[in-house]
Amino acid sequence: MSLTNTLRVLGKDLRLGPRSPVFLWVLILPFLITFVVQVAFGSLFDPEPRLGIVDRGSSTITTEAQRLDGIRLTLLKDSNELKTRVEANDLDAGLVLAAGFDNDVRTGARPELEFYVGGETLASSRVILAVTTLDLVRQVEGKAPPVEVEIVELGADAQPLTVRLIPFVVMYALLIAGVFLPSFSLADERERRTLEALVITPVRMSEVVLAKGILGFVLAIAMAFVTLWLNSALDAQPLALSVVLLVGGLMLVIIGLIYGTASKDVTGVFTLIKGTGVLLLGPTIFYIFPDWPQWIAKLFPTYWIINPVYEVTINSAGLGDVWVELMIGIAVTALLIAPLALLTRRLETKLALAG
């Protein structure tokens, strides 16, 4: 095998690669999936209670409410507009503070507190906004709350859905760059019969396969880091994260090369990917539904790279915590090399006979 020939093929793929829709998809996908997860799922499953306030007398309640975290505050000037927006579910609740409200509270005059709640407001948002409002009123009154609330978490810590989706997002970035790009590149060149020209050149098929694997591997690692950065999950130990992504990228690139050398055309690649997609992405479902039996996820070969990614990025694990999974992942990767070598030789023989 010649390193010079490999680099020549790699250079050619780098020059022509940006013309391929798959190449562009590799670059766009991390941003697209992150947008869907963070905007759609984040706003759908982790909504912030929305409170509107009409303040007719510069109450300190408004000032304190503006300092609160976890509540989306909207200040309005007209109470009718406030009611309309609550009824339309643009706000979860609305509060109207009359002129002199603070002074009346301090003197014990018991002023009327107008508090409106939308019919479609979540029960959790109703409780949060009602309790918060009463607490702010008691601060104006100068009294401590009648009870002290202590939150006790029972069972395992529950991660937000957007966090539990990170393994899926990272895996998809690795999958597109590591599996789709090399396999489609090989199949496309075979379909266009450009690979047959290799039989009259010094370039061997193993060098072509290696060049396409290097390109897919580099892009897979780069896009994985970009995806983690976009999802604010790059606080892990650098060494552990790098090793985990290197092993994961290598496994998926070899799978992609197997698909590419085994398929006669792009349609064949599509068929293989659709038929085995559940084996590649299956383990990510168990992070979305942590109550499912987790041992089932271990039956999937990609579990041994997905779980280290999750442990390192989400639970701040080190290499010492995930070395067993990594060793199994490396073993699975090593087992895939033999069929790849066999398919590469078979493809080279077929091209030679066709030429």
pLDDT number for residue 102: 87
Within 13 Å and on the Cβ side, how many CA atoms surround 351?
27
The mean pLDDT of 230-258, rounded to a whole number, is 88
Q: Which pLDDT tens digit goes with each residue over 288-311?
A: 777 788 889 889 988 999 899 888
3-state helix, strand, coil in the chain (%, to 5): 70, 5, 25
The Cα–Cα gap between 239 and 223 comes to 17
- Better pLDDT: 7 or 38: 7
pLDDT number for residue 47: 65
* Lowest-confidence pick of 193-197, 213-217, 342-346: 193-197
- Better pLDDT: 227 or 44: 227
pLDDT at 206 over 90: no
Determine the longest span between alpha carbons in the chain, in angstroms.
99
Q: Which pLDDT tens digit goes with each residue over 246-270?
A: 999 999 999 999 999 998 888 888 8
pLDDT number for residue 336: 93
pLDDT at 63 over 60: yes
Tell me how far CA of residue 244 lies from CA of 183, 230, 332, 335, in angstroms. Answer: 23, 18, 14, 18
The Cα–Cα gap between 211 and 204 comes to 11
The mean pLDDT of 30-44, rounded to a whole number, is 68
Q: Which pLDDT tens digit goes with each residue over 139-190?
A: 887 765 554 444 444 344 456 666 777 778 888 888 888 898 899 888 888 8
Reduced to 3 states (helix: H, G, I; strand: E, B; else coil), residue 117 is strand
Burial of 215 (0-12, 13-18, 19+ CB in 10 A): buried
Q: What is the mean pLDDT of the chain?
A: 82
Domains annotated for the chain, with CATH where assigned, are 3-41+160-354 (no CATH), 48-141 (3.40.1710.10)
Q: Which pLDDT tens digit goes with each residue over 311-333?
A: 888 888 889 899 999 999 999 99
pLDDT at 105 over 90: no
- Percent above pLDDT 90 for the chain: 20
The two three-digit tokens of residue 182, written as one number: 């090399």
CB atoms under 10 Å from CB of 128, counted, come to 18
- pTM for the whole structure: 0.68
The Cα–Cα gap between 142 and 190 comes to 79
Alpha carbon dihedral 226, 231, 233, 235, in 10-degree steps, equals: 80
